[in-house]
Each structure stands twice: as structure tokens, then as C-alpha cells.
A = this chain, B = another copy of it.
Amino acid sequence: MPHTMTSADLRIHNQVRLLRAVHDAAEPFTRAEAARLLGIGRNTAAALVGELEQARLLHEVPAESSGRGRPTTLLVPHPEGPVAFAVDFREDSWTLASVELGGEVTELATGEHDRTPQVFPDIRETVAQHETGRLAVLGFATSGPISDGHRLHISHLGWDQVELHDLIGDDWPTTVIDNDARLAGLAESRRGALRGMGTAMHFHIDFDIGGTLLLGGDAQRGAHHIAGEFGHMPLTGSPLECMCGVRGCWSLDVGANALVRRFGKEPGYGTGRELAQEVLRRAETGEPEAEAALDDNAAALGRGLGALANALDPEAISLSGMGVELIRLRRELIEERCREGLMEFRRDEPPKIVPGTVGERGPLQGAAEIAWDAILNAEWVKGRLSGGN
């Protein structure tokens, strides 16, 4: 059964709805607008906001008047209210940021790491340095699948079946973690190119393809939290064997891997990415072999997207990482191949294929979203309201 509901829970329920609305809104809105949005009276809105202000969860600032009527206030995050910390953990570096209610990101620190779990105490220390009593929850983005939300498999670091708890120990703040590609998709869905769409998809193209299906503003996670390995479906008929242990993966034909392999190099995460960038540059300047490599890459991308659109019927598909470059350089080819992969009856409404607008910050922003998701619920807000501070 879902949420119990008693008259006493009603207040909290509406307060959570209000906080969620503030968090999700593209622009701040006024108290009167909030009342209309939630379908409640102005008096009730005043009561809700008043308590939330006391709990330092919302703050009211005078709104610049727009037309007639008594001036009202804008609902903004409380300057002393809780914040989420977000960590984007990459292959050789990490970024820590603080994120307000509403999603505003403030970068706090960055660091490098030696690809061993020894980096976690470093991050923990940095978190502690920036902790000002406002930290409520921490969201963590990392590459690779994360089974059941706590067991990491980061193949390019050689981490296999690493338990999250073994990494962070007991003294971390409340921590939620997810895959970077999924979080980038979540960020696009909440605040980027996919905002407001009921069904959409996002793919991050790097060496590999990771992605996620986005439904009603949330990411599909699967039974074991390891959904999203769309790159490991055999969508383009590659005869090669993939690092993942399967033959024919889509990832073998799309992304930096395919570009690099074409030029006889092994896919490595340092120099490999540079080489891929160079291939793209050379394709732009018209070098035939690079152009052909790029064409093949884009065509394979489009073919796969068409196949996935048949199955999942997204309204739009956003891309990040190398996908942005692919759209910039070969939009038509991608769309054509996608169209060819679509069943005939759906070719008049193909999915829009767009570059992500959140950009490089996708995983960080997405980590902040799951962090806020973890606390924007009745239980936490209730504790916050009653428990003082």
C-alpha cells in the first residue's frame, strides 16, 4: 500500500508538494501562484509557508510587482536551510558541489585521484571542510553499474563488486549513489532538454554508451538498479567481442571506442579520448578516413536509436558526451539512420534527437536531484518541522 493518509498528514503532504514545486520549478514563483498551483486557498498557503519558513526550508523575499495588486513575495530556498552535496566521481578526478533547493549548483572543490579507493577519505575530508551545518544529504555519481544501489563495478578502475559501505565507511552523511549516465539523463529530464516529457531517453556517449529511460521525470532503474546498459545490446550487428563479455554490442560501433579502434589503437581511457577528439577534428577538416569513421559512428548511433524508439517510444532522445559532437557534425545522418530503423507507421513522428542542455554538469546535477529526492518526502519534512531546526 502507498502512503497512509490522515488529516494530520495532510499538512505535511501539502508542504512536501510545495517544496517539490519550488524545487522543480524553472523560475521562482510567488506565494499566490503557489496557492493556485497546489489548488489551495491563500490562507492555507500562508500557513504552509509560515511553518516552512520557521523550519528554514523556505524563505520569502519581496517580489517585484508585475501589474496591479498587492505586492507579494517570492518563494526561494532559505539562506540557512539545508543543502545537498553532490559528488561527480570520474575516472581520475572528482568534483564536490553544494546544491540548494531549486537546483542551484555551487562548486566547492575538485580533486584528482589515483584510481584506488584511497580517494574516499580525501573526499570525506573535503566534505567535512565545507560542511557548515546545512548539509542534509549527499548524492554521488560514478561510472559503471551499481547493483542494488550499493555494489559498484567500475571496470576501467578495476573495481569489481566493491561495496559502497566499504568505501565510505560509517561517518559519511546520508549518501545516495547512482550511475553517471543515468544521473545525466535525470538532470536533462528535470532541468534540461527533456523537461516535462512523460517518456524520453538519454544517452551518454564516451568510450561506452550508457543511458536511461526517463518516465515522468524519473529514471528507470530496473530490478537490481542496473538498468540502462543500452550500449550492450547487439543493435548494429558488430561481429566483435565486447569487454563486457558479450558479442556484438552497440557500443562497439558507437563512441570513442569505435573511432579509436578504426585507427588501430587500443581503447584506453587517457590517450584514447584524446585520439578520438583528434579524429573528430580531422573529420571536420575533411580528412577522408576520419570522415568515414565519423560517418560510421553516426550511422550506427542512428540505427540503434531507431531500434530503441520502436521498443520504448520516447518523445525525445538527448545525448551527452561525444553525442553532442556527433549531433553537431552529423545530425542528418543520425536522423536518417534513425528513421530507417523506425517502423514505417511511426516515421511521421520520429523521436526528437537533441543535445543535452545541462552539459558536463549532468552527473553532478543528477546526483543533486537524487539527493534532494531522498529528503523531499513526508517523513523528513515532518522531522524537520517538529524536530526543531
Chain A residues packing against B (C-beta within 8 Å): 1-2, 4-7, 10, 13-14, 17, 21, 37-40, 145, 147, 153, 160-161, 197-200, 213, 215, 220-230, 232-237, 244-246, 248, 303, 306-308, 310-315, 340-347, 349, 351
Q: What are 18 sample pairs from A and B whose C-beta atoms fall under 8 A apart? A: A4-B38, A4-B40, A5-B14, A6-B40, A7-B7, A153-B345, A199-B221, A199-B222, A200-B223, A224-B346, A228-B313, A232-B307, A233-B307, A233-B308, A233-B311, A237-B248, A245-B347, A246-B344
The answer for the CA separation of A340 and B226 in the assembled complex, in Å, is 17
Choose from B145, B223, B308 the contact partner of A315 (Cβ within 8 Å).
Answer: B223
Contact between A343 and B234 (Cβ–Cβ < 8 Å)? no
Shortest CB distance A106–B (Å): 28
The interface centre, meaning the residue of A220, A245, A312 with most chain B CB atoms within 10 A of its CB, is A312
In the assembly, how many copies of this chain are there? 2
Shortest CB distance A53–B (Å): 21
User: Chain B contacts of A5 at CB under 8 A?
Assistant: 5, 10, 13-14, 17
- Apart from A229-B343, A245-B343, 19 more pairs, CB < 8 Å: A1-B17, A1-B37, A4-B38, A5-B14, A7-B10, A10-B10, A153-B345, A161-B345, A197-B223, A199-B227, A222-B312, A224-B315, A226-B346, A227-B312, A229-B311, A233-B310, A233-B311, A234-B234, A244-B344
**How would you classify the secondary structure of chain A's contact residues: helix, strand, loop or mixed?**
loop
Contact between A230 and B10 (Cβ–Cβ < 8 Å)? no
User: Chain B contacts of A232 at CB under 8 A?
Assistant: 307, 310-311, 343
Shortest CB distance A51–B (Å): 17
Choose from B220, B236, B303 the contact partner of A312 (Cβ within 8 Å).
Answer: B220
The answer for the CA separation of A303 and B237 in the assembled complex, in Å, is 13
User: Chain B contacts of A161 at CB under 8 A?
Assistant: 345
Contact between A223 and B10 (Cβ–Cβ < 8 Å)? no
Choose from B236, B312, B347 the contact partner of A213 (Cβ within 8 Å).
Answer: B312
The interface centre, meaning the residue of A235, A308, A310 with most chain B CB atoms within 10 A of its CB, is A310
The answer for the CA separation of A303 and B200 in the assembled complex, in Å, is 26
User: Chain B contacts of A233 at CB under 8 A?
Assistant: 233, 235, 307-308, 310-311
User: Chain B contacts of A198 at CB under 8 A?
Assistant: 223
The answer for the CA separation of A213 and B306 in the assembled complex, in Å, is 18
The answer for the CA separation of A124 and B241 in the assembled complex, in Å, is 56
Contact between A1 and B343 (Cβ–Cβ < 8 Å)? no
The answer for the CA separation of A38 and B226 in the assembled complex, in Å, is 32
Shortest CB distance A341–B (Å): 6
Contact between B1 and A244 (Cβ–Cβ < 8 Å)? no
Shortest CB distance A279–B (Å): 26
- Closest 6 A-B residue pairs measured CB to CB? A222-B313, A245-B344, A223-B315, A4-B39, A227-B313, A233-B307
Contact between B313 and A226 (Cβ–Cβ < 8 Å)? yes
User: Chain B contacts of A199 at CB under 8 A?
Assistant: 220-223, 227
User: Chain B contacts of A244 at CB under 8 A?
Assistant: 343-345
User: Chain B contacts of A13 at CB under 8 A?
Assistant: 5
